[in-house]
Amino acid sequence: MTARTVALRDQRALLDLLPPAAPLAWVRRGEGLVAWGVAARLELPAEPERSGIQRFTAADEWLESLFSTIVVDDDVGVPGSGPVVFGSFTFDGRDAGSTLILPRVVVGRRDGQTWLTVVGDEADPLPAVPPPRPVGALRWRPGTLSEAEWCAVVSQAVDRIHTTGLAKVVLARDLVAEADHPIDVRTPLQRLAADYPDCYVYSVVGLTGATPELLLRRTGTRLESLVLAGTAPRGATADDDAVLAKTLLTSAKDVEEHAYAVESLRESLAPFCTELDVPRHPELLRLANVQHLATPVRAVLPAKTATLPVLAALHPTAAVGGTPTRVAMDVIGELEGMRRDRYAGPVGWIDARGDGEWGIALRCAQITGPRARLFAGAGIVADSDPQAELAETVAKFRAVRAALTGR
């Protein structure tokens, strides 16, 4: 195969370029990548173990083989130019569905520079596309567990924390919406991008959302990550917002939850890094609907370190799994009552140089035809209150609900 990258003068919004069929996207503040078409695709089977390390190993081997066969002509030479693969991995290795796609057409934008990559021959790489179609009326129903059932599960998890070596476990729940016709993924994508410009808005094989959590950004040997754990709502007024922020920053429960997530990342990254910078105290990240405790992490990798083994070591973080990881994963499998599929798994892109960006698939829905399955989770620690944790999931559902309904 051949891949040709050229500078592009087209300054339309990236999401406006997407066709309705199977769009791929990774966009923040108007920059990033959008893509469509399939030049190559890998779908990975289920594995016997929850850790699922084999799917990352298989993906890494496939990428190495794929990129070695592509003849690249790249006039731009920045991260995301040349051939790019979009990917999304399942949370649990026992779930099939981890998918990597080499698209035929990619449009990228970084620091105001726009480019076009075409893999193979594409007669019209930028065809005119119809506008996104409204979602229309939706019928909502509970997911795997009702709210009362989920609160009971949270209570069971708190009991486990008090009586076992479990320190924290993240429990998720789902919610289902049905439309009268297939949902145009571009509609919620554009709304999420408008409402949450500081999040990474993504879509890979129908998994569509806006994640605030950057699991890994690789640029050469430099690596960045952003740990988020500990959540509070936004206030109705500036004074209310300030009170909620102060409460979050001084909350023993939320600070404890955040510390577990930071330490989990530190332990996972340390074996790969020659340098690792982890701030001692979290800062505040404010989004439109919630605010989080956040810790930005920076590291340096040895040259020739592959990206996906690092990604595999980072997943699952304590922010989506728990502490200790293996115990928390067992409790999730026992209590949660549902398959997460690709929710809370890594989602993002990687280019032939190994540069890329991977987030955690949060604030999302799996959109398949007329059906959208939404996901949200909360970190459970020793003093968690089930009703407060339920309220946290309701707040997290709000982003995608609004993107689907337009209000």
| Residues acting as catalytic residues | 168, 213
Place of tokens 């016997």: 48
Backbone angles phi, psi at 268, to 5 degrees: -75, -35
C-alpha closest to that of 23 among 200, 213, 189, 198:
189
d(CA 270, CA 392): 32
Q: 371-380 and 275-277 as β-strands: parallel, antiparallel, unpaired? A: unpaired
Sign of the CA dihedral 102, 106, 110, 115?
positive
Spatial distance between the Cα atoms of 219 and 346, rounded to a whole number of angstroms: 18
212: phi then psi, degrees, rounded to nearest 5: -85, -10
Q: Please answer whether residues 129 and 87 qualify as being in contact, where contact means their C-beta atoms are separated by less than 8 angstroms.
A: no
Distance CA 315, CA 52 (A): 10
Structure tokens, 316? 């699952």
The C-alpha atoms of residue 31 and residue 27 are separated, in whole angstroms, by: 5
Q: Which of 48, 45, 58 is nearest to 90 (CA)?
A: 45
Cα dihedral 381→385→387→388 (10° resolution): -70
Backbone angles phi, psi at 309, to 5 degrees: -60, -35
